[in-house]
Amino acid sequence: MRRVYPLHTIVPSESKPINDTYLNRFLILASIKLLKHFRPRNGGILFLTDKICVKYGPLKNLSEASTMQFIRQHTSIPVPRIICSFTRKGWTYIVMERIHGDMIGRGWTSRAHESKAKILSQLKVMVADMRKIAPPNLAVCNVDGGILYDSRIYGPMQFGPFKDIQDFHKHLRGGLEAHVDNPGDSGAIIQYLEEVYDKERKLTYDSLNEKYLLNQWHHFQTSGQGPYFGQCGWFNVLHQEKLPSAIERYTKEVHSILGVLNNALQGKIWLVGDKCTFADLAFLPWNARLGATLLTPPGEDTLKQYPNVQIWHNRMLGRDSWKKVMTTRDKLMDEHGLQPNGMPKGINNMTEYEELMTN
């Protein structure tokens, strides 16, 4: 019978055994049968010798061995060397070298501060090493292109694979479509433009860590800055009735978002990595309209109280590409009878604009 997979997944590629020879199978199975009653073990791991152990059982998976081998080949992390892996009668066997050590959590509270700091520093280097690995394609899957396993994800512990990050997010939403009421969402447009046209990755990254940090800031802009700055502008400027509670709420939200950005930019030039990316530029249009949004008095700069954001913002304003876009925008607005601030020609302030709108 042919398997049929849901539309949000791609057909999994099964993980393959490693060094699966008849001799290796015979030696491992015989060793387990002979030694399992008196050699030390830890859960599903049996220590065959002082230097070799085997992890086996019905809930193990060959993809674990593939992942360990992949990390060993692409990083400097001291991952155990895989000697062989295979399946037999529904059980998986992973034979690897034994690295002596202890669980990091054991005795953690009694460790000296210097010891904890050293361990955390080593972990930081290891995580950074893994995040430097560039994904081979857009798929979200295990290292062999197959099914994922993660007990932290709600639902079945085995799921996927997914053809891209959007399908994975759809799975996390329980199959619900994103922005079904707004297919022209600006965030989706930005993501599409990046994936299709930025082939040289001038405004993005291929590396796994930076790629998802970009998505994080992109989502923060589309779900935080955009909606809250927009609501603040509406109730401050355009709403026919002044509602102090709404104005206060959305003004606070604007300052809250600016505070998050200011903290994130502490000691940094850009939000992600060492170059300007689409995540930085996505914040620029709304920040450029901040004075009009908050009705800031002429000559004052709201960003002055957020120095990191102010420097970052001015750095982007000085980019030739931004200046070119603004020149094009001003020209198009002029053709439609509008000034650069969005008001009709001949209107000098909000009072005149409100009178025009009521007539």
Range 198-202 average pLDDT: 88
Element of type H or E holding 292: helix 290-294
Pick the more confident residue, 266 or 4: 266
Instruction: Give the pLDDT score at 11.
Output: 39
Q: Which of 210, 335, 233 lies closest to 286, judged by CA?
A: 233
Query: In order of start, what are the domains of the chain with their CATH numbers?
Result: 22-97 (3.30.200.20), 108-172 (no CATH), 186-318 (1.20.1050.10)
Give the integer Cα–Cα distance in Å for 308 and 276.
15
Whether the predicted pLDDT of 265 surpasses 70: yes
Instruction: Give the pLDDT score at 338.
Output: 83
Instruction: Give the pLDDT score at 106.
Output: 82
Q: How confident is the model at residue 223 (pLDDT cuts 50, 70, 90)?
A: confident
Q: Which of 106, 102, 86 lies closest to 94, judged by CA?
A: 86
Give the integer Cα–Cα distance in Å for 285 and 269.
18
Whether the predicted pLDDT of 232 surpasses 70: yes
Instruction: Give the pLDDT score at 139.
Output: 86
Whether the predicted pLDDT of 61 surpasses 70: yes
pLDDT digits (tens, 9 = 90+) for 333-357: 888 888 877 778 887 776 776 666 6
Instruction: Give the pLDDT score at 6.
Output: 42
What is the reported pTM? 0.52
pLDDT digits (tens, 9 = 90+) for 181-195: 444 466 777 877 887
Q: How confident is the model at residue 52 (pLDDT cuts 50, 70, 90)?
A: very high
pLDDT digits (tens, 9 = 90+) for 118-151: 998 999 899 889 888 887 777 889 999 888 887 6
pLDDT digits (tens, 9 = 90+) for 295-312: 888 889 999 999 999 999
Query: Which tokens go with 183?
Result: 């297919």
Q: How confident is the model at residue 292 (pLDDT cuts 50, 70, 90)?
A: confident
Amino acid residing at 80: P
pLDDT digits (tens, 9 = 90+) for 95-126: 999 998 888 888 888 899 999 999 989 998 99
Characterize 179-212 residue by residue with b for buried, 16 or more Cβ atoms within 10 angstroms of its Cβ, and e for exposed. Answer: eeeeeeeebeebbeebeeeeeeeebbbeeebbbe
Query: Which tokens go with 86?
Result: 């295979």
Pick the more confident residue, 337 or 157: 337
Q: Are strands 91-97 and 82-88 parallel, antiparallel or unpaired?
A: antiparallel
Range 212-227 average pLDDT: 89
Contacts 24+ apart (CB under 8 A), 60-64: 60/91, 60/92, 60/93, 60/94, 61/15, 61/92, 61/149, 62/14, 62/15, 62/16, 62/17, 62/86, 62/87, 62/92, 62/94, 63/15, 63/142, 63/143, 63/144, 63/146, 63/147, 63/149, 64/94
pLDDT digits (tens, 9 = 90+) for 165-185: 778 877 876 776 654 444 446
